[in-house]
């Protein structure tokens, strides 16, 4: 039997960051991962999806120039080799996963490639693979960190296989279908649905609720809805999915009035959410407290068993890679004896649709529900010079602040490239900025960031450019 002070199960963003930070602090650490390091985000999620979205945008841009454009650009008959696109995307993933592996090696970490099975809170068995010593390796540890991530939710009456695909298959198509139905109008469904539409696929969007992006502020979703209609995406809102027909060539639906219909499609992408990965590695033997399908943790990411920790998606919402990274770093530091707790002022969330959406902190409605008396103000990108030069006049930046002391409690934005504003939003919340702080900060001109300053100015009653 081998031993390690810290044993991390899962080499995703949370797991590998925790392992690296622990090694930096002198903690003997072992990382167990069955696949490539980097987890869902790096291998089959955040990074490859953004690569596909970028390729789709470039192709769509060229295709739209067929009849000329206001910029004076004209292109004829653009073509996309999807196999080459996928290879380019895979190359990015390979370089990044290779980089993570190099970081782990540089920090002196032991990485065991194989499937972990928990024996108890201090012992894990690993069925090794890929050229490592065969058989089962037994590892004893003082601290066990669970960073097993999440997996796509599968509809029981329409399992993955054949024409029914998950986001994983959607990111590596061997060829493009003529038509695609996307079940679920959350951020995953919209990001991939819009990308496929821009690649020339006839896309239909099916959502059980009465609007797209139901988890987001309705005002933020309006520019995205307009973009979907401009792309020609067919919307089926307030519709329930019943499954595939007997021949597997149509998706059966039922609207709010109970009326059935059939949608003929080549493929169906099920994107109704993700669930914590808690099965298949002996977790049930620990009998940990649960919070629904997720592991229950406290503000230090401790589970109900001493020295067993959980971070990232396996610990529930929000399922964001940057949350997992921050939690992983914190856990390593706590094990090293530092005083830490996970109470961030903001965990920004970005929806990489076209246009993009970013939220950080509280929306006006959320602030009101929390009993806060707040003011909010928005500045439209239509009045921003840089946005106009980028043909990106849709959307806005909005700030939410307390009325009494002008403390900022939230930011929201929708527009081209607004994901890059997320750092400024979160930083202002973490630093306890007030409207006057943002309004009085000189912002570069011309830039999209000027809309941030103008939103603060408008909340104070003296916006300059609107």
Same domain, 264 and 279: no
Q: Tell me, what's the pLDDT at 132?
A: 53
What is the chain's percent helix, strand, coil content, to nearest 5?
35, 30, 40
Residue 187 labelled as part of a binding site: yes
Residue 149 labelled as part of a binding site: yes
Same domain, 392 and 326: no
Same domain, 222 and 124: no
Q: Tell me, what's the pLDDT at 134?
A: 61
Question: d(Cα 277, Cα 285) in Å, to the nearest integer?
Answer: 15
Residues 189, 350, 168, 47, Cα dihedral to 10°: 150
pTM here is: 0.94
Residue 298 labelled as part of a binding site: no
- Active-site hit among 54, 79, 445, 462: 445
Same domain, 22 and 141: yes
Longest CA–CA span in the chain (Å) reads 70
Same domain, 294 and 411: no
Same domain, 388 and 456: yes
- Domain presence at residue 440: yes
- Domain presence at residue 129: yes
- Domain presence at residue 56: no
Of 272, 295, 322, the one marking the end of a domain is 272
143 tagged catalytic: no
Which structural domain, as residue segments, surrounds residue 184? 164-272
Same domain, 281 and 412: no
Of 315, 336, 357, the one marking the end of a domain is 336
- Domain presence at residue 315: yes
Per-residue pLDDT of the chain (466 residues; tens, 9 = 90+): 899 999 999 999 999 999 999 999 999 999 999 999 999 999 999 999 999 999 999 999 998 887 778 888 888 888 999 999 999 999 999 999 999 999 999 999 999 999 999 999 999 999 987 555 568 999 999 999 999 999 999 999 999 999 999 999 999 999 999 999 999 999 999 999 999 999 999 999 999 999 999 999 999 999 999 999 999 999 999 999 999 998 888 999 999 999 999 999 999 999 999 999 999 999 999 999 999 999 999 999 999 999 999 999 999 999 999 999 999 999 999 999 999 999 999 999 999 999 999 999 999 999 999 999 999 999 999 999 999 999 999 999 999 999 999 999 999 999 999 999 999 999 999 999 999 999 999 999 999 999 999 999 999 999 999 8
For the chain, what is the domain count?
3
Q: Tell me, what's the pLDDT at 73?
A: 87
Same domain, 14 and 137: yes
Question: d(Cα 189, Cα 8) in Å, to the nearest integer?
Answer: 31
Residue 31 labelled as part of a binding site: no
Same domain, 428 and 450: yes
- Domain presence at residue 217: yes
- Residue 355 sits in a domain of what CATH number? 3.30.390.30
Taking the CB of residue 366, how many other CB atoms lie within 10 A of it? Answer: 16
Residue 284 labelled as part of a binding site: no
Instruction: For residue 159, count CB atoms less than 10 angstroms from its CB and return exposed for 0-12, middle for 13-18, buried for 19 or more.
Output: exposed
- Domain presence at residue 81: no
- Domain presence at residue 297: yes
Residue 186 labelled as part of a binding site: yes
Same domain, 176 and 246: yes
Same domain, 361 and 387: yes
Question: d(Cα 390, Cα 388) in Å, to the nearest integer?
Answer: 5
- Domain presence at residue 404: yes
Question: d(Cα 80, Cα 136) in Å, to the nearest integer?
Answer: 46
Residue with tokens 């601290």: 143
């Amino acid at each position: 039997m081998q031993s390690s002070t810290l044993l991390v199960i899962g080499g995703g963003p949370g797991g590998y960051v925790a392992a690296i930070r622990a090694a930096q602090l002198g903690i003997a650490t072992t990382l167990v991962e069955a696949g490539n390091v980097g987890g869902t985000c790096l291998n089959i999620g955040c990074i490859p999806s953004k690569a596909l979205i970028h390729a789709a945008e470039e192709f769509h841009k060229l295709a739209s120039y067929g009849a000329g454009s206001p910029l004076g650009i004209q292109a004829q008959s653009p073509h996309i080799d999807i196999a080459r696109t996928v290879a380019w995307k895979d190359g990015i993933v390979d370089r990044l996963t290779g980089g993570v592996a190099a970081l782990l090696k540089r920090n002196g970490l032991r990485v065991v490639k194989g499937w972990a099975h928990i024996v108890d809170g201090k012992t894990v068995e690993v069925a090794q693979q890929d050229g490592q010593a065969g058989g089962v390796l037994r590892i004893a540890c003082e601290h066990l960190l669970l960073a097993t991530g999440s997996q796509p939710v599968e509809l029981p009456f329409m399992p993955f296989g054949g024409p029914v695909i998950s986001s994983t298959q959607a990111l590596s198509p061997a060829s493009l279908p003529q038509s695609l139905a996307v079940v679920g109008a959350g951020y995953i469904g919209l990001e991939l649905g819009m990308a496929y539409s821009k690649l020339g696929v006839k896309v239909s969007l099916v959502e059980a609720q009465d609007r797209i992006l139901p988890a987001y502020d309705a005002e933020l979703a309006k520019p995205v809805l307009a973009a979907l209609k401009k792309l020609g995406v067919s919307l089926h809102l307030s519709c329930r999915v019943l499954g595939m027909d007997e021949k597997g060539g149509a998706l059966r639906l039922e609207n709010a009035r109970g009326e059935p219909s059939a949608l003929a499609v080549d493929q169906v992408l099920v994107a109704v959410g993700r669930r914590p990965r808690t099965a298949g590695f002996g977790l049930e033997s620990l009998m940990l407290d649960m919070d629904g399908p997720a592991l229950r943790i406290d503000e230090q990411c401790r589970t109900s068993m001493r020295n067993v920790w959980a971070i990232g998606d396996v610990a529930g919402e929000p399922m964001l890679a940057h949350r997992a990274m921050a939690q992983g770093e914190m856990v390593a530091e706590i094990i090293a004896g530092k005083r830490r707790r996970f109470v961030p002022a903001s965990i920004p969330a970005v929806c990489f649709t076209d246009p993009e959406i970013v939220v950080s902190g509280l929306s006006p409605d959320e602030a009101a529900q929390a009993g806060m008396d707040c003011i909010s103000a928005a500045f439209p990108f239509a009045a921003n010079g840089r946005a106009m030069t980028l043909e990106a006049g849709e959307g806005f930046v909005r700030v939410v602040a307390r009325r009494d002391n002008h403390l900022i409690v939230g930011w929201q934005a929708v527009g081209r490239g607004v994901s890059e504003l997320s750092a400024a939003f979160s930083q202002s919340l973490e630093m306890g900025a007030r409207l006057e702080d943002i309004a009085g900060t000189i912002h570069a001109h011309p830039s999209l960031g000027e809309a941030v300053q103008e939103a603060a100015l408008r909340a104070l009653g003296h916006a300059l450019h609107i």
